Amino acid sequence: MTENQLIQSAKQGDGGAIQALYRLHARRVYAVVRRLAGDDAQAEDWAQEAWVRALRALPGFRGDSLFSTWLHRIAVNSALHARRSRERRAAREAPLDDSVPMSARGDDALLRLRLERAMERLPEGMRRVLVLHDVEGYTHEEIGEMLGIAPGTCKSQLFKARARMRQLLTSATVKQGIETCST
Partner 1 sequence: MQHLTLEAIARLVDEPPHAEEALHLEGCADCRMELEEMRGQTAALAGLADPEPSPFAWPALEARLREEGVIRPQETAKVRPRHSPVLRMAASVAVLVLGGTVGRELWRGGTVNRMDPERIPSRAAGSPVAAPALRTVPAVTVGAPPVQTAARADPPAGGEPSAEAEAPKRTLRSAAHSAPRRSGASATAAQLRAAQADYVSALSEYASVADDERADPVVRLAALEGLVRATRTALERAPEDPVINGYYLAAMGKRDATLQRMARSSEETWY
Residues binding partner 1 (CB under 8 A): 12-20, 22-24, 26-31, 34, 44, 47-48, 51-52, 55-56, 102-103, 105-107, 111-112, 115-116, 119, 130, 134-135, 137, 155, 158-163, 165-167, 169
CB of 118 to partner 1, least distance (A): 9
Residue number with CB closer to partner 1 (116 or 145):
116
The amino acid at 111: L
The number of residues making up the chain comes to: 183
CB 50, CB 78: distance < 8 Å: yes
CA pseudo-torsion sign 50, 28, 158, 143: negative
Residues with Cβ within 8 Å of 29's Cβ and at least 6 positions away in sequence, in order, are 47, 50, 51, 71, 72, 75
Q: Which residues of 16-47 are buried (b: 16+ CB within 10 A; e: fewer)?
A: ebbebbeeebeeebbbbbbbbbbeeebbeebb
Minimum Å gap between C-beta 27 and partner 1 is 5
Nearest distance from residue 182's CB to partner 1, in Å? 25
Closer residue to partner 1 (CB): 87 or 107 = 107
Nearer to partner 1, 82 or 135 (CB): 135
Nearer to partner 1, 47 or 80 (CB): 47
The least CB distance from residue 93 to partner 1, in Å, is: 15
